[in-house]
């Protein structure tokens, strides 16, 4: 990490963090120290920093919040799940999708084909919908 090891910043008394929102950083630090400041308005900023500083515990806590308490839309949660590799959240949000049209409209525009885990989850969901559609050609919905 930036504060330990062979980094130049290790010996500096103060480190300027460029491109980091102060409030998001405060929320991130509070989360790391056991204070939960996660809500729908702070979760994206916390996830951004948790990803930047490789803090898997913070990502896990954000994922738990998004699964259990968040009021964000399915699309917003799916976008975050893809961006930060939260597969449990992604699978949970995809479970409510029953048609290929819904699946297409739920995939974020910035979806990276290089994110193979996310791509695999979405592909499997598409296959389940398509195979269910073939089995029940009268009813194109999937459970």
Q: For residue 20, what are the CA distances in angstroms to 61, 98, 113?
A: 20, 39, 27
pLDDT of residue 3: 46
pLDDT of residue 126: 78
In this structure, what DSSP letter does residue 10 have? Answer: G
pLDDT category at 69 given cuts 50, 70, 90 is very high
Domains of the chain from N-terminus onward: 1-72 (3.30.710.10), 86-143 (no CATH)
Question: pLDDT tens digits for 35-49?
Answer: 888 999 999 999 999
**Mean pLDDT for the stretch of residues 104-116:** 69
């Amino acid at each position: 990490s930036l504060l330990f090891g062979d980094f130049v910043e290790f010996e500096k008394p103060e480190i300027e963090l460029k491109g980091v929102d102060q409030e998001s950083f405060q929320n991130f630090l509070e989360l790391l120290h056991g204070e939960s400041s996660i809500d729908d308005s702070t979760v994206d900023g916390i996830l951004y920093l948790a990803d930047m500083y490789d803090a898997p515990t913070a990502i896990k806590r954000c994922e738990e919040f998004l699964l259990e308490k968040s009021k964000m839309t399915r699309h917003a949660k799916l976008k975050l799940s893809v961006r930060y590799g939260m597969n449990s959240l992604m699978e949970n949000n995809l479970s409510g999708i029953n048609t290929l049209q819904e699946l297409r409209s739920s995939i974020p525009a910035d979806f990276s084909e290089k994110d193979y885990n996310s791509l695999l989850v979405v592909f499997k969901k598409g296959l389940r919908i398509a195979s269910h559609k073939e089995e029940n050609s009268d009813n194109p919905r999937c459970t």
